[in-house]
Structure 1
Amino acid sequence: MKSIRITALAAVTVAAAFSLTACGGDDSGTNASAKDSSSAPSSSTGSSSSSSSSDSGSQSSDGSGSGGSEAGSSTSGSGKGTGTTANGTTQTGSKVTFCKSEDLAIDAADAAPGGGEGRINITMINRGSATCSATGFAGVDIKDADHTSNPIERGRAQPRITTLKPGDAAVFDLAYTIDSSGNSLSSPTNILVTPPNETHTVTLPWPTGAGAIKGAYTDVQVYPTHTTK
């Protein structure tokens, strides 16, 4: 009987030992699993880093692509700024430029209406091959016999659009009061004319028969151009 009990006890002890060993194996497995799971973030971090790198590469590619496109747009915008229109023509080509002195035949003539009023009409004919604009005030100086020249002031008048086709004429006038006393202190010899928006001056003789100027040259006024049509 003792032998049976000892054998049974030994069997129980062995079984307990196996049970403990099995439990220890489970714990080891759990720890390994925990370690594996703890290493997962590292893998995830690597993936995230890779993803970030990929995103960075994508942004860099997109960014440079956008930048290039924007630069292209800017260049295109710059092209439009120079006057390119939708149909490919240029605005500068369609604009009417101001008449140049070299393309104008300019003449001065007495046109006094009488009654003590002096007036000199100055005519500009477009001898060029293209339409041009003579809109505005011409610059005018009167040269005296003492070789001095005096600028003429503008009269109170609103300029009118004066576009000249080849062969067309524009007129502007000088107005002043005639001195019939015979004691005028002015002795005009020439009229110096600079067409509107030009810098080249044309010298004209003072018209024969024009009345003497009363007062000073500053009392003479120039009026804006207008067409003869």
Structure 2
Amino acid sequence: MKYTRVTALAAIGVAATLSLTACSGDGSGKASSSKDSSSSSSSSSAGDSKSKDGSTSKDGSTSEGGSGSGGSQAGNAKAGSGDDTKADADTANGATKTGSKITSCKTEDLAIDARDAAPDEESGRIDITMINRGSTTCSATGFAGVDITDIDNTSNPIERGQAQPRITTLKPGDAAVFNLAYDIDNTGNSLSHPTNIQVTPPNETHTVSLKWPAGAGEIKGAYTDVEVYPTHTTK
């Protein structure tokens, strides 16, 4: 009987120990689970936060993108400001250039005449002089338009010679000159009988008619063999 009670007590003690162990294991598991959960949540929050910050600084898709956009806008604004400034400067310069631009000499402001300037008996040359009688400086740069009128009243356009125009700016009273060049026919059998020279100054549309200079040599060949050269100053 005593042995039975001892055995029973021993069994109760073992059961109690097991119960306590089980309870302790459950609590530890819950605590561990709670701790892991808390850690996981905290880690997740930190990770999310880090991920946002990381994505921001790494690829600029969030705040860097906005900052980049703002930087771009600022850059554009700066570039725009620079363009505006340059445009204003260009406009100002354009206005200045336009305001000070020298216009072409007008036919009505030019005193024009022609004279024989042949250097020898073989080379024919007619010098045509234009004097600025206007009140402002003007440009006579380039080739004048020239036609020669024959005795039969036909008009023959003269071709340009192989020469580059030179800057020809005329102040009031200044003169520019250009010439017609041809070979002189000394046989007396020339088929060309010029009477007048029709002159249109460079960049003009109004023409003046000049008499063919008396004493000028006869033209060898046809009017297509005569050439006109660009203007230049007489200084």
User: Which TM-score bucket, shorter chain as reference?
Assistant: 0.7 to 0.9
Contact 1:120 1:210 in 2 (8 A): no
- Asked whether the equivalents of residues 141 and 231 of structure 2 are also in contact (C-alpha less than 8 Å), the reply is yes
Residue in 1 that maps onto 2:64: 55
User: What TM-score do you get using the length of structure 1 for normalisation?
Assistant: 0.74
Match of 1:206 among 173, 198, 211: 211
Matches within 5 A, 1:176-187: 176-187=182-193
Identity across matched positions, percent: 52
Quickly say closer, same or farther: Cα 1:192–1:141, change in 2 above 3 A: same
- Opposite residue 41 of structure 1, the aligned amino acid is S
1:38-67 per-residue CA deviation (whole Å, 9 max, x = no partner) reads 444366436745855333322332233323
The alignment covers a number of residue pairs equal to 225
* 2: CA distance, partners of 1:149 / 1:42: 99
Partners of 2:10 and 2:50 in 1: how far apart?
A: 58
Deviation at 1:97, TM superposition (A): 4.9
| Residue 50 of structure 2 corresponds to residue 41 of structure 1 | no
Partner of 2:82: 73
* Among candidates 142, 159, 180, match of residue 136 of structure 1: 142
Indicate the structure with greater helix content: 2
Unaligned runs of 5+ in 2: none
Please name the residue that 1:174 is paired with.
Answer: 180
Does 2:34 align with 1:29?
A: no
How big is the shift at 1:188? 2.5
Give yes or no for contact 2:136–2:172 (8 Å, CA) kept in 1: yes
CA distance, structure 2, for counterparts of residue 7 and residue 174 of structure 1: 147
Deviation per residue, 1:159-212 (Å, 9 max, x gap): 44433222211111112234455543323233222333x142422222341433
Judging changes above 3 Å, is the alpha-carbon distance between structure 1 residues 11 and 188 closer, same or farther for their aligned structure 2 residues?
same
Q: Deviations over 1:70-121 (max 9, x none)?
A: 3443444455666839xxx845556655444444332222334452543221
Q: Residues 27 and 200 (structure 1 numbering): CA distance in 2 closer, same or farther, change over 3 Å?
A: same
Amino acid aligned to 1:192: Q
CA RMSD of aligned residues (A): 3.6
Residues in 2 aligned to 1:84 and 1:25: alpha-carbon distance in whole angstroms = 88
* CA distance, structure 1, for counterparts of residue 168 and residue 220 of structure 2: 31
Letter in 2 for 1:176: Y
Letter in 2 for 1:204: S
